[in-house]
Structure 1
Amino acid sequence: MAVEPLAAVITLLAVLLAYVNGFHDASNAVSTTITTRALRERTALGMAALLNLFGALLGIGLVTISSTWAFERMGLGHITAGVDTPGPVLLWIILAGVLVTILWDLITWWMGMPSSSWHALFAGVGGASLVLGWDADWPTIARSSLLPTAFAPLLGAAAAYATMQLISRMLTSDRLRSGHLRFAQTVSAGLVATAHGLQDALIPMAVIVAVATTSPMPGAVLASAPYTVAIAIALGTLMGGHRIIRTLGSRLTDLTTPQGFSAEAATATLMGLVSLGMGLPVSSSHSIAAGIMGAGLARGPRALRLPVVRRILAVWLATPFACFGMGLIIARLAQTSIGI
């Protein structure tokens, strides 16, 4: 079965997106363990890669793969309702969303700033849909991006702050030793890596399934997609986004082992409760950064470097607007050059 060229390109870009996502978000699991020397850098990245691989396969295995699921995951469920064969315009909307997500991940990596791939995808799809005359599922996009953006970092910061306060009291009373915390931090980092793979592997997987619905492809491609996506995320994680690791590990605050464990434990708990319990994508980048802020704040306001905090928050606020504009521009270029 021949695959339409555009569909083949998007499928390959979805695999690239999985790799870039792993590369960009490696810091979410390992920045604290590397900085506090709980694990050596290569050991931490290797552990995170394996657990991202496991989490990706587990996450894809837990969902019911279907065209409806794929389109809803991308914020396109509403526009495909009642449409038997989505037109080629939909492929261009998907292409724009994938390109925007890859570009934004690379831009924010270069800046050393944590950001959300989910939010970039939703915004890019929304911008492209507007240009190409489709009505995106704005309620789903708002529920899946705006609500987690508004509340997840606050919850993560509060949980890390409370955990840090508890640990400080236990250390003072000699009920907890630093060696115990290093082991606990390794476990919590593993949980964050697993949760990241479990959730973020669904982005490229949804893209591939949506493309297959729009333009049929060989069954072998779909059958191997979960493994291809999982391996790509793991390889990207193994490379490590060192710029963001430095931002979270040393530029945001002088990270200690108790802070690292508090941030990671809060992140893993939050992602598990909201992502698995409520079915909403929670940005691991937002959660770990907010957790580090909350844990740092527990040591006093001066423990945080406010200029770095402001830059991170500015990137988070800019993500939906910048990616919406990028999606709009990409779709407009396609419209004027190809005439779609």
Structure 2
Amino acid sequence: MTPALLVLVVVLALAMAFYNGFHDASNAVSTAITTRSLRESTALGMAAILNLLGALLGMLLLSVTAEWALRLLGLGHLVETTSGAPDVLGVGLVAILLATLAWEVLTWWLGMPSSTWHAFFGAALGASLAIGAAAAWTHLVAILIASIVGPLIAVVLAYSVMQGILALARSERLGVAHIRFAQTVSAGAVATGHGLNDARLPLAVIVVATSASGLSVGSSLAMMTAVALAVAAGTLMGGHRIIRTIGRRLTDLSAAQGLAAETSAVMSMSVAIFGLDSPVSTSHGLASSVVGAGVALGPRHVRWAVARTMVVTWLATPIVTAVLGAALAGVMLELG
């Protein structure tokens, strides 16, 4: 891979890390901001710091190798097909990153939470097909299944936690001050989990690109720090459109609902990251948990039109990015 192409891939990967933090800041702070458990500036600052620490911790715990990166991203077939033409792989990575970023920008503009992982996997499928590599169909099928099953599990978890919180509140064992404090802690846990989970994606892309360029991968602290800082900087900026959707448009969120939603999101993230060792959508987990917490108070507390639009967006994510990734890869290969 030429130095210029490698630099472009690295820059786009860091841009994706930044926008991931910007897009998904809502995961950690939307509930705390909406319920006024934390001031907006305080919530975003806390989320940025914990995203940074979570990202660094998660990456330092990894064994960063090309094999790890390929397994995580599902790009083994693409790398095999382009083994004699690293520039073609570079073009494919650029197409994947551009398609992912385009979808992130569109969903932010629409105010819809969506998964960076699902967008990336869809774009990778499309780019692989355009280049002529065997596509990782299992990733797409797994994503579509997870887009249905994962949110349902999050809804049930949040519903159950909310019922527990309501029972404690009725028995006067849990007051408003306790709930607000607990929500601050749970928001911090979500932010840390987001850093642990999502920083792996841009890091893995950079590892694949540097390995294809014939450079030593190693466990570069500078590379990890750059990714972690990009995620944290994006979080500090805050994607306010999506914060409004999760905090106000889905339901009129209370502090108790926020605590239930964040607790459910942390539980699902912990199982996926530490139990299954697989990427998980923090956006899907938290948004679904907000719905579950709302249902616990009664179905009329959820604005179902917004929820339906959100689910359609999730199902469309890998399909749209696959088409976009294929189109971008095809055009760039023609121009090249």
Which band: TM-score by shorter chain?
Answer: over 0.9
Letter in 1 for 2:193: A
Partner of 2:153: 155
- Cα deviation per residue 1:204-238 (whole Å; 9 max; x = unaligned)? 10010000011135879944110000001001000
CA distance in 2, matches of 1:73, 1:261: 31
C-alpha contact (below 8 Å) 1:86/1:214 kept by paired residues: no
Letter in 2 for 1:231: L
What are the residue-to-residue correspondences of 1:1-340 with 2, within 5 Å?
4-80=3-79, 87-143=86-142, 145-217=143-215, 222-338=220-336
CA distance 1:278–1:147, shift in 2 (3 Å): farther
C-alpha contact (below 8 Å) 2:96/2:325 kept by paired residues: yes
CA distance in 2, matches of 1:219, 1:148: 31
SS in 2 for 1:216: coil
CA distance 1:3–1:228, shift in 2 (3 Å): farther
- Cα deviation per residue 1:296-321 (whole Å; 9 max; x = unaligned)? 00111110011111110110111011
Normalising by structure 1, what TM-score? Answer: 0.94
CA distance 1:90–1:3, shift in 2 (3 Å): closer
CA distance 1:277–1:78, shift in 2 (3 Å): farther
CA distance 1:164–1:289, shift in 2 (3 Å): same
Once the two structures are overlaid, the 10-residue window that deviates more, 327-336 or 257-266, is 327-336
CA distance in 2, matches of 1:311, 1:242: 18
Runs (5+) with no aligned partner, structure 2: none
Q: CA deviation at 1:3?
A: 5.8
Q: CA deviation at 1:137?
A: 2.6
- Cα deviation per residue 1:1-32 (whole Å; 9 max; x = unaligned)? x9621111010111111100000000000000
Cα RMSD (Å): 1.9
Identical aligned pairs, as a percentage? 46
C-alpha contact (below 8 Å) 2:86/2:212 kept by paired residues: yes
CA distance in 1, matches of 2:253, 2:300: 13
Once the two structures are overlaid, the 10-residue window that deviates more, 33-42 or 305-314, is 305-314
CA distance in 2, matches of 1:70, 1:185: 34
C-alpha contact (below 8 Å) 1:71/1:206 kept by paired residues: yes
Q: CA deviation at 1:80?
A: 3.9
C-alpha contact (below 8 Å) 1:209/1:222 kept by paired residues: no
SS in 2 for 1:298: helix
Q: CA deviation at 1:81?
A: 5.7
SS in 1 for 2:76: coil
